[in-house]
Amino acid sequence: MKTTGALIFGYNDYAYEIAKNIAYKYDDVRIFKLEEENLKSNKNGFKIEKYDLSDEWDELKENFDMKNCIAFCVLDDDAENIFLTLSLRSSFEDLSIIALSKNKESANKLTMAGANKVIPIVQTTAGIIGDMLNKPIVTEVLHNILYDKSDLKIAQIQVNDAECFEGKYPADIEWSRDHGIIVLSVMHKDMSSEFIYSSKAKHHIIKKDDIFIVVGYEKEIKDFEKLIGGNLCQ
């Protein structure tokens, strides 16, 4: 009997974080690794299978109800991720495909290749979010980005002008009301990071060169970037 499943193509920490957080939703969660990748110990108990980018997906067709499955394309190499997305879309017209990209250019190519949802996300941001995924608010936000038909985006923005915050602490600011965004995390100059609602972050005065990890719509993100004289990190 065919099952509904989450098919995660990529053999990295972010793939494991996705798997852990969607395991409750699907009958079968599998992580697929390229043939040349070394097999790591599977401490989380997820099924790991090898595949090749030239595969014709016969095994998937045989075992999964692809119309009711979801695929995550999270390969480290953008070119391979684009090729994978194109291959899956050409084989499965109704498959829901979510892809991660490292910059806007690859995001556009992934959309053209057939991804239903593309999330541009730099590696440092992915690592921070991976560390925070056990927190309910982050899980909820990511769920909305992944599954809802919305234009929400994740971005990281460096503060160049901290004067607009007037020496405030993150806990003093109504981010959603005042700026139309959600701030998930703040990364300091020494590259240490804190979940925005942690006690340490609440008592950290916002300074130049801090980096905010934010969720919002493109317009609000750009407006916030202008406000803090920031750089939108790609």
What is the reported pTM? 0.56
- Phi, psi for residue 99 in degrees, rounded to 5: -130, 145
Which tens digits make up the pLDDT trace of 16-40? 888 887 888 888 899 998 865 565 5
- Phi, psi for residue 7 in degrees, rounded to 5: -110, 115
CB atoms inside a 10 Å sphere around CB 152: 19
Which tens digits make up the pLDDT trace of 47-63? 888 888 777 788 888 88
Distance in Å from the first CA to the final CA of the chain: 44
Enter the DSSP assignment of 73: E
Spatial neighbors of 166 by CB under 8 A, at least 6 apart, are none
Share of the chain above pLDDT 90, in %: 11
In whole angstroms, give the CA distance from residue 97 to residue 92: 10
Question: Which domains, ranges and CATH numbers included, belong to the chain?
Answer: 5-120 (3.40.50.720), 153-232 (3.30.70.1450)
> Which pLDDT band holds residue 115 (cuts at 50, 70, 90)?
very high
